[in-house]
Homo-oligomer: A and B are copies of this chain.
Amino acid sequence: MTTTGPTTDLLTLAPQTGTGFLLRTGQQLTVVDPTGGQVSDLYCFAAQDHDERLSSGRTIDYANSIYVTTGHTLYSNRSRPMLTIVEDTCGRHDFLLTPCSQDTFDLLYPEFEGAYHPSCLENLTSGLAQFGVVADQVGTTLNIFMNVWPEPGGELHIDPPTSVAGDRLVFRAEMDLHVGLTACSAEKSNGGVCKPIAYRVDDAD
> For residue A139, which residues in chain B have a CB less than 8 angstroms away from its CB?
55, 57, 77, 139
Partner of A51, one of B77, B136, B150, B153: B136
Contact A154/B66 with A51-B136, A56-B57 known, Cβ cut-off 8 Å: yes
Would you give the 0/1 interface string for A176-205, flagging 1 where the beta carbon is closer than 8 Å to chain B? 000000000000000000000000000000
Would you give the 0/1 interface string for A55-66, flagging 1 where the beta carbon is closer than 8 Å to chain B? 111101110111
> For residue A61, which residues in chain B have a CB less than 8 angstroms away from its CB?
96-98, 104, 108
> For residue A65, which residues in chain B have a CB less than 8 angstroms away from its CB?
150, 153-156
State the A residues within 8 Å of B (CB). Answer: 51-52, 55-58, 60-62, 64-67, 77-79, 96-98, 101, 103-104, 107-108, 136, 138-141, 149-150, 152-156
Partner of A108, one of B62, B150, B154: B62
> For residue A58, which residues in chain B have a CB less than 8 angstroms away from its CB?
98, 103
Distance in angstroms between the alpha carbons of A51 and B137 in the assembled complex: 8
A137 CB to closest chain B CB, in angstroms?
8
A2 CB to closest chain B CB, in angstroms?
23
